[in-house]
Structure 1
Amino acid sequence: MRMSKKVVHMTSVHHPFDTRIYHKECLSLRRAGYDVTLIAPETDAESAIDIIPIKKYKNKFLRMAFSTYQVYKQAKKRQADYYHFHDPELLPVAWLLKKNDNVVIYDIHEDYATSIMQKEYLPRPLRKLITKAYKRIENVFARDMDLCLAEKYYQELYPSGKVILNYPLINEKLMARTVDDTIEQLENKLLYTGNVDVDRGAYTQARLPLIDAEITVYFFGKCAREVADNMYATAGDQKDRLIIEGIDRYVPRETIDDQYMNRRWLAGIALFPPTEHYKRKELTKFFEYMSAGIPILCSNFPVWKAFIDRYQCGIAVDPQEGEAIQDALEYLRLYPEEAAKMGRNGQKAVQEELNWHKEEEKLLQWYDKIGEQTREAGDEHAQ
């Protein structure tokens, strides 16, 4: 029987109900008998675990100075057996918390080096300098930490890391959603879920009403006001066929799940421009679209196209080729039985293989293993 151990998850950036942090990792650990606390930006919502609120500053530099200090102060009080943090800016905090008798886990959600390199608003020489500085800081502070990797290819960057993929929770309502071949039930509506920004194809996808005269595109995810305004400008006189829910606000998990159920979507979209940061990632939204039996329409990056081909769950196209996108949409409209088959294939893959249940087992076994190794090392150090 697993011993009850004290775990503190920490984030100064993510929403407290972030799917990976709260709904997957924290709740999985709690069900397994761990005493779990989450330190995160303040919220009034009720929670199944103890959430310690910190103030989140809109200014990035104020957040890095003051929010991180609040995280450290609250985390140190808890004297936890495991500290599990989710933001690079908390590396110094985690380094200060690391002792011989505790576990500190750095949960790497993103490939931060390539993310920095694609920030176009920074001069390229400065991007290179910041990337080099970040890698050096990470190497120093994370030397004695355990690494949790959210993507398969991150293991090339961190060979010692443990891959805990961001596969979806099995949503019984979504999985029970019947996918049939009836053309009358398909709507000329496309769905996008998750954060909306330029690198995630905001402007590429805002062109869709101009490419296809019948399509309306729905976005459910946080979107900065400036980005939303530019998306409307991109769509021009067709902007009424862009529905953006989440301008300058977080969209709750429950709201997104409801949207999967509410319509017979023609496709779930991920038409991203080619960037080093995204073209090798298996997007969480892929698995969610698949869970709901919705065909995927995505960019034809080699990793993404191989994924689509393997599971036969959608269509991959060049995101810059309007004619190819229009052809794909027309195919889904003309052949609803094929669209339905893609949806059923996706649900089957999630049910049998691509789900959080399998990753949860990996997470719990890994916690046991590194906890035991730390206890043994602590005993040796004490002798």
Structure 2
Amino acid sequence: MKRICHIIFEHRIFDGRIFFKEAVSLAKNGFEVILLVPTIDKRSLGLKKEIPLPNNKIYESKGIKFQTYYYNKKLPKQFNIRQYFCLRNLLKKLIQIDADVYHFHEDGITLEMAAQLKVVMPGKKLVFDFHEFFIHSYREKKKKINRINEYIKLENEIVKQADLIITVTDFITAYYKTLCQCPIITLFNCQSERIFPTTKESATDDGIFWVVNEGRLLFDRGLKLIIEVAQRLKHSNIKFLIIGNLPKAEERYFQNKTKQYQIKDKFHVTGFLPYQEVPLWLKKGKVGLTFMLSDNAKTTISNKFFNYLRFGIPVLSLSHPIIDDIMREYKLGYIFDENEAKEIAAQIEELYHNKKLHLKLSNNVRKAFKTTFNWEKMEQRLLAAYNSMIKVGI
């Protein structure tokens, strides 16, 4: 049995793509899978101390074995002291695990380790999973802009050494094909009935026409536009369901604007939810919003888009160079520009009143999920790529 080690630092330990999709898919198809995560106190898993470690220090879920490396937050960040000791602890653990394949997912600390892996552990397989177009991310974030040259250097090392590169869109795949010769595959963040099942609890209908935004609500994910749309909707039975939380600045803006417009009663905000509680709320949705504004977001497809498809929720999207083609081909909903709050509100009203139209779109969405955009299709790609990579190494 081949041993696979997924390595994370910033991601939550039960991340949808890393844990529930990729790791579980590999484990249930005959691989031994270890998820290596940080611990900040040697008593819990993850940077946010998500779950306590058992007394025997062994934790396992869905066939995945969890192991830890120590990230000492008491050490100073100056001169990269904290990072140095974290990398040392991570390397010791990677050697101890002695996996056949090491699968990385992030920039930052684990990116540095990925770039050095083949030097330290020759003969091991290196997989890098680009969840986003990191170069755009570095350009957009003030904290990262000064480190863009460092990132590019590390990225170049990785693409030279990688045995398999995985991306989330064909656009990013095309970019990396210009940089390396190794196999590259696209794995959309499609959802699965296995991961997001329909239960009796989630299937109840409260009679509200819920307009859903799934995920943390940020300025660059349409917060201002959503409030302007809500302010234009007159029917009291149309309400907005925010499945997630808002950071402090966005929360202040949200509270001030909804109070000014007197529309607080039009919103329900769940706050942060564990991943497997999301479908209980998502199933209520009648319309799903995906208002992605940043340049980086326009090179990927948000998870919420695929989650809406899982539950047959028609989509209202801002124009997006990747999503637009999917929306038009499968007739999943409607596309708007950022300045069309009035038109978006009118379309929501139309879908509320025209049940025949809403049902037609919902059926289109369900069909697209069943035939094309489901994780089981992506799982086949993942397994084929893994089996081919491992066979080459025999």
TM-score, with structure 2 as normaliser: 0.81
Pairing 1:189–2:189 present: no
- Cα RMSD of the aligned pairs, angstroms, is 3.0
Alignment counterpart, residue 51 of structure 1, candidates 50, 66, 75: 66
Q: Which runs of 5+ in 2 are unaligned?
A: 39-44, 53-59
Number of aligned residue pairs: 357
Corresponding residue number in structure 2 for 1:104: 126
1:127-166, aligned counterparts within 5 Å?
127=145, 129-145=146-162, 146-159=164-177, 160=181, 161-166=184-189
1:181-220, aligned counterparts within 5 Å?
187-213=208-234, 214=236, 215-220=238-243
Q: Which amino acid aligns with 2:188?
A: L
Q: Are 1:206 and 1:242, in contact at CA under 8 Å, matched by a contact in 2?
A: no
Corresponding residue number in structure 2 for 1:115: 137
Cα distance in 2 for residues equivalent to 1:303 and 1:21: 23
Corresponding residue number in structure 1 for 2:327: 308
Corresponding residue number in structure 1 for 2:55: none
Task: Give the match's secondary structure for 2:160.
Answer: coil
Question: Offset of 1:6 from its aligned partner?
Answer: 0.9
Question: Offset of 1:58 from its aligned partner?
Answer: 8.7
Q: Are 1:174 and 1:260, in contact at CA under 8 Å, matched by a contact in 2?
A: no
Task: Give the match's secondary structure for 1:268.
Answer: strand
Question: Offset of 1:193 from its aligned partner?
Answer: 1.4
1:165-184, aligned counterparts within 5 Å?
165-171=188-194, 173-174=197-198
The one-character-per-residue Cα deviations of 1:13-57 (angstroms, maximum 9, x if unpaired) are 111111110011111111111111101241327622111245678
Identity %: 23
Corresponding residue number in structure 2 for 1:381: none
1:1-383, aligned counterparts within 5 Å?
4-41=1-38, 42=45, 43-44=50-51, 47-48=61-62, 49-54=64-69, 67-89=86-108, 90-98=110-118, 99-119=121-141, 121=142, 127=145, 129-145=146-162, 146-159=164-177, 160=181, 161-171=184-194, 173-174=197-198, 187-213=208-234, 214=236, 215-236=238-259, 237-246=262-271, 249=272, 251-261=273-283, 263=284, 265-273=285-293, 275-375=294-394
Corresponding residue number in structure 2 for 1:380: none
Moved more, 335-344 or 206-215: 206-215
Cα distance in 1 for residues equivalent to 2:200 and 2:316: 22
Q: Which runs of 5+ in 1 are unaligned?
A: 376-383
Q: Are 2:138 and 2:147, in contact at CA under 8 Å, matched by a contact in 1?
A: yes
The one-character-per-residue Cα deviations of 1:240-264 (angstroms, maximum 9, x if unpaired) are 4333223xx5x22221111123x3x
Q: Which has the higher contact order (CA 8 A, sep 6+)?
A: 1
Q: Are 2:218 and 2:250, in contact at CA under 8 Å, matched by a contact in 1?
A: yes
Cα distance in 2 for residues equivalent to 1:218 and 1:357: 28
Q: Which amino acid aligns with 2:134?
A: Y
Cα distance in 1 for residues equivalent to 2:216 and 2:90: 25
Q: Are 1:86 and 1:109, in contact at CA under 8 Å, matched by a contact in 2?
A: yes
Cα distance in 2 for residues equivalent to 1:346 and 1:175: 19
Moved more, 341-350 or 279-288: 279-288
Q: Which amino acid aligns with 1:7?
A: I
Q: Are 1:312 and 1:345, in contact at CA under 8 Å, matched by a contact in 2?
A: yes
Task: Give the match's secondary structure for 1:199.
Answer: helix
Question: Offset of 1:185 from its aligned partner?
Answer: 7.8
Q: Given the superposition, is the C-alpha separation of residues 186 and 269 from structure 1 closer, same or farther in structure 2, using an over 3 Å criterion?
A: farther
Q: Given the superposition, is the C-alpha separation of residues 75 and 226 from structure 1 closer, same or farther in structure 2, using an over 3 Å criterion?
A: farther
Corresponding residue number in structure 2 for 1:378: none
Q: Which amino acid aligns with 1:326?
A: A
Q: Are 2:169 and 2:300, in contact at CA under 8 Å, matched by a contact in 1?
A: yes
Q: Are 1:174 and 1:291, in contact at CA under 8 Å, matched by a contact in 2?
A: no
Cα distance in 1 for residues equivalent to 2:159 and 2:312: 40
Question: Offset of 1:141 from its aligned partner?
Answer: 4.1
Question: Offset of 1:177 from its aligned partner?
Answer: 12
Q: Given the superposition, is the C-alpha separation of residues 296 and 33 from structure 1 closer, same or farther in structure 2, using an over 3 Å criterion?
A: same
The one-character-per-residue Cα deviations of 1:302-352 (angstroms, maximum 9, x if unpaired) are 432322111111111123222111111111112111111111111111111
The one-character-per-residue Cα deviations of 1:137-168 (angstroms, maximum 9, x if unpaired) are 21124420131112111112101422222221
TM-score, with structure 1 as normaliser: 0.83
Question: Offset of 1:67 from its aligned partner?
Answer: 4.9
Cα distance in 2 for residues equivalent to 1:348 and 1:58: 48
Q: Which amino acid aligns with 1:231?
A: F
Q: Are 1:36 and 1:50, in contact at CA under 8 Å, matched by a contact in 2?
A: yes
Corresponding residue number in structure 2 for 1:379: none
